[in-house]
Chain A
Amino acid sequence: QKEVEQNSGPLSVPEGAIASLNCTYSDRGSQSFFWYRQYSGKSPELIMFIYSNGDKEDGRFTAQLNKASQYVSLLIRDSQPSDSATYLCAVTGNQFYFGTGTSLTVIP
C-alpha cells in the first residue's frame, strides 16, 4: 500500500469552475499535510498546509482535512489557466511522504 495516494488524472476543468483534488494517506499518526504545485520542468512550490481537521482557506484555495477518514483535499475556486500544473499531496508521519501528483488542466 502506498503511503500517499492521489488520482494521477489528468483532471480537466473549464476556466472559472471549481477544481477538486483528493488525497488519501495510510499512516493514522500523520500530523502535517501539505499541497504543493509543480509546473512542468519546475520544482514543487508550497501552496497550502493544514494541521487540524476541517477547512483552511487562502484566497482561491481551500484545504480540507478529515483525519478519521485519512483524507485531505484541495479545492481551487474560479480556476484559471495558470492553475494548470501537477498538484502534489505530502504527508508527514515517520517521514515526509509525497503522492505521485494529480495533473490539472484548466481549459480557457
Chain B
Amino acid sequence: ETGVTQTPRHLVMGMTNKKSLKCEQHLGHNAMYWYKQSAKKPLELMFVYSLEERVENNSVPSRFSPECPNSSHLFLHLHTLQPEDSALYLCASSQEPSGRGWGYEQFFGPGTRLTVL
C-alpha cells in the first residue's frame, strides 16, 4: 500500500447505526486530518491530529468521534448520524516540522462516500 488509504470506500447506514471509518497513511507523516466534503461547499476541516494529539476540533457534533491510536492510523467513529451528514469524508496527512498541524502540503486518501438514510 502506498499513500493514504481509506476504508470503506462507500457506506450506507441508518440513523441508529454505529460505524467507523478508517484511514491509514504510509508516508511517514506526523499529522492527519478528517475533512467533510458536501456538494457545492468548500472542504470542511473536522479534526486535526498532530503527533497523535488532537489539535483542532472545529465545532463538530459529538456524533462524530475521532481516534488516532498512532501516527499512521486515524479513525472516525459515527453514531446516530443525520441525513445531512451524508457526504464524502476525506482523510489527509502531512509532515509538519513543528508538529503544529498545518502549513505543508496535504496528501488525501480516496475518501469514503457516506449515505445516511
A-side residues, CB < 8 A to B, are 2, 4, 8, 31-32, 34, 42-46, 49, 88, 90, 92, 95-101
Contacts and interface: CB of A to CB of B under 8 A. Distances in A.
Interface residues of B, number: 18
Contacts, number: 42
Contacts of B107: 46
The DSSP consensus for interface residues of chain A is strand
Interface string B24-60: 0000000001000000111101000000000010000
Contact of B102 (A44, A45, A49, A95): A95
A99 B33 CA distance: 17
A92 B42 contact: no
7 closest A-B pairs (Cβ-Cβ)?
A: A98-B43, A43-B108, A96-B102, A100-B42, A98-B42, A43-B111, A46-B105
Contact of B103 (A31, A43, A46, A97): A31
Chain B interface main SS type = loop
27 contacts: A2-B42, A32-B103, A32-B104, A34-B105, A42-B110, A42-B111, A43-B90, A43-B108, A43-B109, A43-B111, A44-B43, A44-B90, A44-B108, A45-B108, A46-B105, A46-B107, A49-B105, A88-B43, A92-B103, A96-B33, A96-B102, A96-B106, A98-B42, A99-B42, A100-B40, A100-B41, A100-B42
Nearest to A6: B42
